[in-house]
Amino acid sequence: MSTLTIKNLHVSIEGKEILKGLNLEIKQGEIHAIMGPNGTGKSTLAYALMGHPAYEVTEGEILFDGQNIISMATDERSRLGLFLAFQYPVSISGVTVANFLRTALNARRRADNPEAKGISILEFRKMLKEKMDLLKMDYAFAGRYLNDGFSGGEKKRAEILQMATLKPKIAVLDETDSGLDIDALRIVSDGVNTLADGDLGVIVITHYQRLLDYIKPQFVHIMFDGRIVESSGPDLALRLEAHGYDWVREKYAEGA
């Protein structure tokens, strides 16, 4: 079982420090929720984990199965088993969902084995239909341009479809509930829960308890001022729902 370990992580953007010594460990099969006020560094953590070039790691380690991946490119991290579902997925006009996913799969196979021929069209179609059935998606969806003209719910379902296809070991969901109505939220959550059943570790970044009504974490963490300041079980999210973040600010604000 794979483990992602974050030790004393400091990350800056354009010289401004955002993460200030963050520590966290996630194993396959575990679901962790990260919550916190706006501006505390939740999305910065997600991008830093995947190696976004604008996010500079100035101190600390990101270990995947004991290997420090900070110097690795994003595609190398992906091949190790990391995945990021974006809060605001990018539209790619002219590239269908199916072609995008098949190209991604073949690129991964050829990186592992330059002699690999790639997945056949028939094998890919069969696999894709199975994944789309899992997410209750119309097969016509595969022929549409990636995220082009998609609703918020369709974009998030496309992200989860990518996750189902690429089969990561640890996935980061950056505010996947943003822009979803209740039906789309339930469908996306069902897909995540199915994938997380023993084989996938998940970091769910969210502001709201409502997502955690469907994707049920074993661990809940509160981020404040670039650090994890509180960690507990699901009851911690219910406390935030009931009382907001004022008690967190009062307890952990600098100089308090």
Any idea how long the chain is? 256
pLDDT band for 187, please (50, 70, 90 cuts): confident
Asked whether 97 and 140 are in contact (CB, 8 A), the reply is no
- Give the DSSP per-residue string, 2-45: -EEEEEEEEEEETTEEEEEEEEEEEETT-EEEEE--TTSSHHHH
> Per residue in 150-186, pLDDT tens?
988 888 889 989 998 999 999 999 988 777 778 878 8
d(CA 77, CA 171): 11
pLDDT for position 254: 66
The model's pTM is 0.91
Distance CA 200, CA 203 (A): 10
Distance (Å, whole) CA 90 – CA 234: 32
Residue 151 DSSP label: -
Cβ count near 231 (within 10 Å): 14
Q: Are 61 and 68 in contact (CB under 8 A)?
A: yes
The DSSP H or E segment spanning 58 is: strand 56-64
What integer is the mean pLDDT of 79-89?
Answer: 90
> What is the set of domains in the chain, with CATH numbers?
3-90+159-252 (3.40.50.300)
Mean pLDDT taken over the chain: 91
What is the percent of the chain where pLDDT is above 70?
98
| Residue located via tokens 């800056």 | 12
